[in-house]
Amino acid sequence: MKIFITHMHGDHCIGLLGLIQTMSMLNRRLPLNIYGPSKLDEFIHFNLRLLNLDIPFPLYIKKVKEGIIVEEKDYKVEAISSEHSIESYSYLLKEKDRPGKFYPEKAKALGVPEGFLWSLLQKGISVKINNNIIKPEQVLGEARKGRTIGISGDTRPNERLVNFFKDCDVLIFDSTYSSEYQEKAIVNKHSTAREAAELALKANVKLLILTHFSARYDDTKVLLEEAKSIHPNVMVAKDFMILEVPYEEKSLVS
């Protein structure tokens, strides 16, 4: 499991302690990797000592720097410094491109029997038939673009973030205030819903999800309407919300 912390303000990191303790009580054995700013390691280990918590699983705390911080077979995670009042980062989850559409008729024409060899070709692996090498590109269409999800953390909008989040399928962005509190957003290093939408529009983001609302808003409708006046696809984040992110060949929220 991997957890990514944007910055060391209490509303973004204190919950880690309860989560780690719960994992310990459930007798977790698998490793836990936590990525975040430079103070994260000190914060976690100091509090684990205070709690006298002896965790039964490997815990790895990794300091984030700009660039690729995780690279796995099917995806990678990138980080960039965001513009907040303390050291903070935005993250981008990028799924790697998938092999193109498989064309059975092409495989048959090349003498590849249906079954296991087809599955290898679909995975991008060459196969051998009667001393002939059949390459995936002979039976597949163009590679299909992987999905991308961005999360801003607390930040002011800026051009670096526009470029970082370019063409995201989903962007979850700081929308602490409405534009009525523009000056407060600037002073406190947050964004307004309008600014989040403007950035998402510049970055060609398919779906914008507003988050991190000031406690002054009992109803987030004003923030949603403000953002929707700029960007056509906007949602408001809710606790425990689950969102399916379709592939490019399918439509997202409209």
Tens of pLDDT, residue by residue over 126-150, are: 999 988 999 999 999 888 899 999 9
Strand order through the sheet with 170-174: 67-71, 75-81, 89-95, 148-151, 170-174, 207-211, 234-236
> Is the confidence at residue 252, as pLDDT, over 70?
no
Rounded average pLDDT over 51-69 = 96
**Are 35 and 59 in contact, with CB atoms under 8 Å apart?**
no
Distance between CA atoms of residues 210 and 186, nearest Å: 18
CA distances, 96 to each of 72, 101, 109, 145 (Å): 9, 15, 30, 7
Q: How far is CA 179 from the centre of its chain?
A: 26
Task: For residues 207-212, give the mean pLDDT.
Answer: 98
The span from the CA of 101 to the CA of 4, in Å, is: 33
Rounded to an integer, what is the distance from CA 189 to the centroid of its chain?
22
pLDDT digits (tens, 9 = 90+) for 175-195: 999 999 999 999 999 999 999
How far, in Å, CA of 253 to CA of 243, rounded? Answer: 10
Percent of the residues in the chain that have a pLDDT greater than 70, as a whole number: 98
The predicted pLDDT at position 203 comes to 98
Is 11 a known active-site residue?
A: yes
Helices 15-25, 40-50: axis angle to 10 degrees equals 50
> Which one from 11, 74, 219, 239 is the annotated catalytic residue?
11
Q: What is the pLDDT of residues 13-27, one digit of tens each?
A: 999 999 999 999 999
Bridge-partner residues for 88, per DSSP?
A: 7
- Note the pTM of the prediction, 2 decimals: 0.86
Instruction: Provide mean pLDDT across the span 33-62.
Output: 96
Going by pLDDT thresholds of 50, 70 and 90, the confidence category of residue 4 is: very high
Most confidently modeled range among 50-54, 101-105, 233-237: 233-237
| pLDDT score for 254 | 44
Alpha-carbon separation of residue 189 from 36, 79, 123, 156, 209 (angstroms): 19, 19, 45, 5, 19
8-state DSSP, 9:
S
* Arithmetic mean of pLDDT, 108-117: 92
Per-residue pLDDT of 48-59, as tens digits, reads: 999 998 899 999
214 and 176 Cβ atoms separated by less than 8 Å? yes
Interatomic CA distance for residues 250 and 246, integer angstroms = 6
DSSP H helices in the chain: 10-13, 15-25, 40-50, 104-109, 116-122, 159-164, 182-188, 193-202, 221-228
